[in-house]
Each structure stands twice: as C-alpha cells, then as structure tokens.
Amino acid sequence: MMQTGRGSASFCSVVRVREAQEKPAKPGDESTGGMIYVSDWTSKARLFSRGLFQHAAVLALLTGSLCACWPAPILAQAPEGPTPAPANRPEPDSKKPTVFKVKSVGDKTVYLEAGRNADLQEGMKLSVVEAPPDGVIAEGMQYRGYEHVAELVVASVSDSSAVCEVVKADGELKVGQAAFLTPESVRGRQQSEMAAEEDKYPILLTFTYGDPLDEEVRETREAQVTHLTPMQRMRGRLGFDYGGTNESGGFHSRQMGLVIDADMRNIGGTYWNFIGSWRGNFGTSSMTLPGAGSQTLTDLVNRTYRIGITYQNPYSPVTLGVGRLFLPWAPSLSTIDGGYYGRKFAREATFGFFGGSTPDPTSWSYNPNQHIAGAFVNLEHGSFEHFRLFSTMGVALTSIQWKVARQFAFFENTWSWKQHVSFYNSLQADAARRSPLVNGGSNPTGVSQSYSSLHFQPIKLVGFGVNHNYFHSLPTFDPRLLGTGLLDQYLFQGFSGDVRLALPKHIGLFANLGKSKTTTDKKSSLNQAYGLSLGSLWKTGLLLDLHYSKFNSSFGSGKYESFSLSKSLTDTFRVQLYGGHQVFNTALSTNTNSNFVNAVVDWNVGPRYFLEGNYGWYHGTNLSYSQWSSVFGYRIGGFRK
C-alpha cells in the first residue's frame, strides 16, 4: 500500500542488485524481471562452501545481502526534478503564555486580557486563582498553591481579549485574578500547531502498512473537533407545589402546582438551551362564599418569570426560541408566551418574526387577553471592547379577544463605547386606531411610548446618567406590583438624572431625581427614588436591600418603601424576607393603600432533593389575604451536597 510520510519502509521484500543490472538474467529468471531474491544469494553461497576460503566467502556474502536489503526512502519527484530533503521539524513554541489576567467580571462571564494574540481559542478551559500579594501575573503561578476560585471555558475570542463562561465558581471572581490554561488545553494548542506545520513538508512515498505521522494528524484533527464542541451544563430543579389562600370575605382555596428552575446550556453538546423559571397551578379546590378569588401578589410575581427553549449557534445563521420569553433583539416589547425566529441574511444583519400572548403584568400595555405578532430587522456592528451598535426596527400588531387593538412600529437602539459610555432608546409609534373595547375611545397616529437613557461610567465605582420617559396614553400594568420595584421604569415621566455607586465591601447606592409635568398639572412635580444595598450587614452575612420612591405622573401619584433581607445559613439552607408599604392614588385601582410581607425558606435535603416553603401576607384598602405553599422536588446536576 502506498502512503505518504516522512519515515522509511518497514520491511524490504525485493532487492535490486547491481550485478543484475550489468549481467542479463538467465532464461529461468524471466519471471523475476531481472530481480534476484535473497534466497538466490543463499544458494550461491553453498557453491563456495566446499572451497579453500569457504567460511570467509560465506561471511562476506551474508554481509552483502544485509547491506542490499537495508531499506531506503524513495522521494517523490516534481516534473522539474527531485524535491530537496525536508529540514528538521520545528518544535512547538513553548514560550506562548498560559497565564492571563482577569480584565473584568460580568454576570456569569469573565473577560481576559488576552485573545488571538495569545492563541486562545473557543472551547479552551482555564482555572482561576487568587492574585498573588504583589499583583504580578506571571508564568508558573499555577504551581504556587494560590486559592482556587473558578473554572472557565472560552466562549468567544477577539484580537486582544476573550469572553469566558463561568462553569463552576468556588469563590468570588474579581478583577486582577489569574486564569491559567488547563494541561488539556495546553496540549490541544500544541497539537494544533503541529497540525498546521504539516503543509510545510515534502511528500514522501513508501511501501508500508502504517505511518505514525498520519496517525498523529488524524488525532490532532479529532482533538480540534472536540474543542469546538460546546460544554454542556445541566442544572435545575423540578418540584411539586401544594398550598392554600385565605382571603377576606370568606374565600378559601387549595392549589397544586409545578415548579421548574432550569439552567441547562448546550444540551447534549449541542447549541440548544433550556433556561428560566416557571411556577404555575394546574389544579384548585375551594370552599367559599359566592364569588371568585383574586390573584395574589405571589401569583402576579410568578407571571413575571421567564423560561424557554432556545437555539443559539455561533456557526449557524439561525436563532430561535419557544416558551415564555422576551424578544432578544427588542427586549422593551412585552414578554410573550410564544416564540421567535431570526436568521442572519448578512454578516451583521438579521431578519425575523415573533408571536404569542402577553402574560407579563409589568408591561406598560398589559392585558391578560392580549396577543401580539410582528416582524423585525436587526443590525449589529462592533464589539463590547470598542464601539458597538445594536439597532432594531419592526412592525407589530396586538389583538384583544382576537380583535385588532394596536398597529405600531417599534425601534430600539443601543450605542456604546467600551464600558464608559452608552446610549439607549426605545420607541413605539401607533397608527390611528379605535379601541375594540366598549367606550374604549380612539387615538391618532403618533408616538405612544418612548424611553431614552444616556449613561457614563468613567471608573468602575461610579456611574451617572440622564433619562427621559414619555407616555401618550395611560399604562395598564397591574398596580399591586408597585411596591416590588418591578414598575420603577414607569413611575418617572419627563427628564431625570441618576447616580450609582459601587463601593467596596459590596455596598451599592443609587439615587434618581427628576421633574415631570402633564397637560393637566399646574406645576412640575418632583420625582425621587433612592436605594441602598449591603452585601454583608455588620459582618453577619446578611444581604440587605432598601428602596424608597415618591412620584407624581399622569396615571397617578404616591410613594412606596420596601426592604429585602436574605442569608445563607449554611451551604444548603437559605432564608429570605421581604416586604413593603405603598400608597398609590390612581384611577387604575381602588386599592390605594397596602402593606405586604413575604418569607421564603429553601433547604437542600441531601444531594438530590430540596424543600421550599413560602408564606405571604397582604393587607390593603379593599383586598386582604394570606397565602402559603410548600414545594418538594428533585435537583438536577450541578454541585450537590
């Protein structure tokens, strides 16, 4: 079998002898084509065995036979002549860096100060350790015993930086820590370099059954395919919920439901994901006076959760999702119970469509019987390391009870420069319409909603911005969610300014001030909001979050105060308590004054199961109730104790 390689033949069965070229073959040698086999040399040696120099001749002939049978490579020749012998193959560069500095830390992502310039590739694995006391990141740090922090995998690479996903975290990720390639990734990089060198060598032809170089190249290519396969991460919880509600007026009910928390990425080594949370009731029994029960605050909050199956492949032009989710190209639109489809028709342009119902009660145009459908075009240019443009435009319509309610165009644009400056704008413009509801009125063509924000972050600790919010018609969100902070983006109208501080010791502060004036107001109103978060309250490990807001807008005026307190008592036991008080004077609701408290206990029982308990108390002007629930379920994947 003829193969390519740089080695020589592994055996020699035929030898061309110089004497055969000088002397014609005998008639009995025609079948050999002028070839003399090694066995012929043996028979000839017997003719001399009876002579005077018998032993010396035999020794000489055997030596000549061994020399003639020694294999020699046959070089393939180009038409113009023989190819020169290959030079010594260079060894892979062992001086390429394997240790890198953490540039910045995001939500489940880490940025490194190295990219293609350090031969980083997608799929490479790294380990993160604490920075040395002197802060100097150097080769060999992985052998000094610094505390392990996290495991990463490279998700995308640019010329001078790389984005990594956090696979496992054993500590807090910080800027300045060191990330080093795992031995497996170092070997993979060396194999890729050796494979790239194969094209630089001349082809050698030999008669052999196998070639070590060919095997080496095959293994290297298989390793490259493995590195391009995404890393699967399977984490989640599946539980059954049983609870009850006691409402003023004699209403009592029992509910059974299902709880799903999923963080399943790259399922089966593919680019399919199942991510999000969902809680719902699929059976109720009640004992009550005539009438129907109202949705509780917990039920409303559960409807704000998102969960869905998505497909995001960096090597495919198609992106799609099905479930309860928002449109990734225009997140300002309502969350939908449905799906979306997008396809790149150019390197930086995407076309797609979407449709479904609108279940989110925090949407400014919320209606429980509403559906939405539309199409869009998106343009994306640049990168997060430099200038970036992300622009979407599209058309959509909504229907209530399958009657067209709105026909509108939507625009969403983001411009940013690194992490220092960003500008965001979302706008919806409606065509003239008449409401399908009885006495619903009509609206002319024009802008129905707009929000703009310009933010600056000169250093990591400080950020400030200027905002403008506009509504042509009254929002229709559920006002009971006011005290949860989920409606803050609608409370201020007109111009406002905000300041955010990220101080050491996990301390966060923010303030937002602005004035608004509607067509019916005689003077401008001062809107104000403040917040404080403490990552560790008095070294107790308690997480504290405080909010206060006072507002006056076209749809109502009021204020709210809220708090959240949580702590992980052990690695498997966590408690949370949050509550608030709100005053809301509006035509949207008659429940103008309310107080609420919610408590959650979460306990991992062994390595596979969990228990969760919830209790809620709500007292308002004309709505009061208490609600409890218990969840028992199974934990999927992840680090389990």
Q: Which of 456, 428, 455, 421 is nearest to 443 (CA)?
A: 428
Torsion region of 503: left, alpha or beta (phi above 0 gives left; psi -120 to 50 gives alpha) = beta
Q: Is this model's pTM higher than 0.85 or not? A: no
Tokens 């991510």, located at residue: 275
Of 76, 94, 87, 91, residue with least CA distance to 200: 87
Is the same domain home to 81 and 113? Answer: no
pLDDT band at 317 (very low <50, low <70, confident <90, very high): very high
Which pLDDT value is given to residue 83?
A: 38
Residue 443 tokens read as: 């609206």
Give 518's pLDDT tier (boundaries 50, 70, 90).
Answer: low
Long-range contacts of 217-225 (CB under 8 A, 24+ apart): 219/191, 220/191, 220/192, 220/194, 220/195, 221/195, 223/188, 223/191, 223/192, 224/188, 224/191, 224/192, 224/195
Residue 162 domain-assigned (yes or no)? yes
Is 10 within the bounds of a domain?
yes
The verdict on residue 403 lying in a domain is no
The average pLDDT across 219-236 equals 59
Distances in Å between the alpha carbon of 118 and those of 100, 121, 223, 230, 571? 9, 9, 19, 21, 38
Q: Which of 332, 335, 367 is nearest to 490 (CA)?
A: 332
- For residue 462, is it within any domain? yes
Task: Classify residue 281: in a domain, yes or no.
Answer: no
Average pLDDT for residues 624-636, to the nearest whole number? 91
Name residue, tokens 């040696």. 45
The pLDDT of residue 33 is 40
What pLDDT score was predicted for residue 280? Answer: 84
User: How far from chain centre, in Å, is Cα 188?
Assistant: 23
Residues 57 and 162 both lie in one domain: no
Predicted pLDDT at 379: 96
Has residue 409 got a pLDDT over 90?
yes
Element (H, E) at 549: strand 543-553
- Residue (of 443, 407, 552, 417) closest to 492 by Cα position: 552
> Three-state SS string across 470-517, please?
EECCCCCCCHHHHHHCCCHHHHCCEEEEEEEEEECCCEEEEEEEEEEC
**pLDDT of the residue at 247:** 81
Buried b (16+ CB within 10 A) or exposed e, 84-120: eeeeeeeeeeeeeebbbbbbbbeeeebbbebbeebbb
Q: Does 571 fall in a domain?
A: yes
Indicate whether 458 and 575 sit together in one domain.
yes
* pLDDT reading at 41 higher than 70: no
Q: Which two tokens stand for residue 30?
A: 């025609």
First to last CA, the chain: 57
Whole-angstrom distance, CA of residue 251 vs CA of residue 373: 38
What pLDDT score was predicted for residue 5? 41
Claim to verify: residue 22 and residue 137 sit in the same structural domain: no
Look at residue 553 in the predicted model and tell me its pLDDT.
73
Kindly state the tokens that stand for 416: 């940013």
Contacts of 620 (CB under 8 A, 6+ apart): 591, 593, 594, 595
> Whats the size of the chain, residue-wise?
641
Indicate the residue among 547, 569, 589 that finishes a domain. 589
Residue 324, pLDDT > 80, answer: yes
* 11 band by pLDDT with thresholds 50, 70 and 90: very low
Same structural domain for residues 84 and 103?
no
CATH code of the domain covering residue 110: 2.40.10.410
Q: Pick from 228, 248, 274: which residue ends a domain?
A: 228
Name the domain count of the chain. 3
For residue 398, the SS3 value is: strand
What gap in Å lies between CA 233 and CA 155, rounded to an integer? 13
Helix (H) or strand (E) holding 190: helix 183-196
Do 472 and 509 sit in the same domain of this protein? yes
Q: Same structural domain for residues 72 and 109?
A: no
CA angle at 585 for the pair 545 and 533, rounded to the nearest 5°: 5
Residues 469 and 583 in one domain: yes
125 shares its domain with 179: yes
- Supply the pLDDT for residue 59: 47
Tell whether 430 is covered by a domain.
no
Q: In this structure, is the dihedral angle defined by the CA atoms of residues 52, 58, 59 and 61, taken in order, positive or negative?
A: positive
Residue 229 is predicted with a pLDDT of 57
Q: Let me know if residue 630 belongs to a domain.
A: no
The tens digit of pLDDT for each residue in 345-386 reads 998 999 999 999 998 888 888 888 899 999 999 999 998 888
User: 584 and 467: one domain?
Assistant: yes
* Structure tokens that stand for 535 in this block: 């990552």
Task: Answer yes or no: is pLDDT of 203 > 60.
Answer: no
- Tens digit of each residue's pLDDT (9 = 90 or more) over 464-500: 999 998 888 777 888 778 777 788 777 777 888 999 9
At 517 the pLDDT is: 59
State what percent of residues in the chain have pLDDT above 70.
Answer: 72
Its domain, for residue 458, covers 453-589
One domain for residues 83 and 185: no
Which one of 130-139, 290-299, 318-327 scores highest in mean pLDDT?
Answer: 318-327
User: Do 459 and 509 fall into the same domain?
Assistant: yes
Average pLDDT over residues 140-149: 77
